[in-house]
Homo-oligomer: A and B are copies of this chain.
Amino acid sequence: MNFSPVNIQTIAYILNAELTGNKELIVSGINEIHCVNDGDIVFVDHPKYYDKALNSKASAIIINQKVECPEGKALIIHPQPFTAFNILIRYFQPIQYSTTLISPTAKIGKNTIVFPNVYIGNHVQIGENSIIYPNVVIYDNCIVGNNVKIHANTTIGADAFYYKKHPDSFEQLETCGNVVIEDFVHIGANCTIDKGVTSSTVIGAHSKIDNHVHIGHDTKIGKRCLIAAHTGIAGATVIGDRVTIWGQVGISSGLKIGNDVTILAQSGVGENIPDGQTYFGSPAGPAKEKMREVFALKQLVKLIHKLYDK
């Protein structure tokens, strides 16, 4: 998420935290480590990841220990960087409650049909020639392209399922990102596409999604993909172009699925898949190997049967 440029001293003041390094630094965004840019604030709360955060593109780092500050950057020392990050997210993007079904700040392009009972949140943008069917819910700040169809009872832009474990509770990471649905995308009925935490969950142009599909926060679906019903893709996974995913597939978080990949029905993907591969099984592997396993198991049954017969 970006905001109007602010001096880092203001950030330290908001968080009531100690500031070291470049005190004249101007920051203009807040992002997670995987999508951080020049001018951004990031957070890190475990020594294991200190180097990654300090050497990232981020200009300012919220950190729970006093370490040496890299040249030109600024450190904000805070006992709970996760909580500090949440405070900043809600400071720069307060939760807005809309009392109307369609927010007056939403922009809807010409020839777009919005059926009755659709909820469209604040600052949502919808392009031209799109159809939004009844009871669709689009949360604040999401962007929907041209020639898009979204079927009934689908939810675009709910919170990321992202929690930090404390001894007696879970602390949710506040989300300030959005969902971007590119042109010519179709989304079936009763789907859920969650917001990015600080950046965007993206559905690439011409991709078609069946019913009951779940796409997690910050996940990027490429162009011209087909995703069948009941498939769930966890957060921060990147799916290439022209990928075909059959029904009831599960894909873990943080993975990279190449271009032109096919994933057969009910597969459970827990590892990256290179370009052009066909995968199957739970846990999933190359389909040819998995089919050999299916065959081998049948042979084993016959063998055991024989042994017991003797």
Task: Tell me the A residues contacting B by CB distance below 8 Å.
Answer: 97-101, 113, 115-117, 119, 133-135, 137, 139, 149, 151-155, 158-159, 161, 163, 168-170, 172, 184, 186, 188-192, 194, 206, 208, 210-212, 214, 216, 224, 226, 228-230, 232, 234, 247-248, 250, 252, 265-266, 268, 270, 282-283, 289, 292-301, 304-305
Report the minimal beta-carbon distance from A169 to chain B, rounded to whole angstroms: 5
Instruction: Flag if B137 contacts A153 (CB, 8 Å).
Output: yes
* Alpha-carbon distance between A224 and B163 when the two chains are bound, in angstroms: 11
* Alpha-carbon distance between A119 and B189 when the two chains are bound, in angstroms: 14
- Tally of this chain's copies: 3
Among A98, A137, A149, residue most surrounded by chain B Cβ atoms (within 10 Å): A137
Query: A229 is contacted by which of B99, B232, B300 (Cβ under 8 Å)?
Result: B232
Task: Give chain B residues whose Cβ lies under 8 Å from the Cβ of A154.
Answer: 153
Known contacts A153-B137, A158-B188, A169-B224; A212/B210 CB under 8 A: no
Instruction: Flag if A137 contacts B134 (CB, 8 Å).
Output: yes
Query: A99 is contacted by which of B116, B170, B226 (Cβ under 8 Å)?
Result: B116
Query: A232 is contacted by which of B226, B248, B300 (Cβ under 8 Å)?
Result: B248
Instruction: Flag if A135 contacts B161 (CB, 8 Å).
Output: no
* Alpha-carbon distance between A158 and B229 when the two chains are bound, in angstroms: 13
Known contacts A158-B189, A212-B212; A116/B115 CB under 8 A: no
Instruction: Flag if B301 contacts A300 (CB, 8 Å).
Output: no
Instruction: Flag if B116 contacts A134 (CB, 8 Å).
Output: no
Task: Give chain B residues whose Cβ lies under 8 Å from the Cβ of A101.
Answer: 116-117, 134
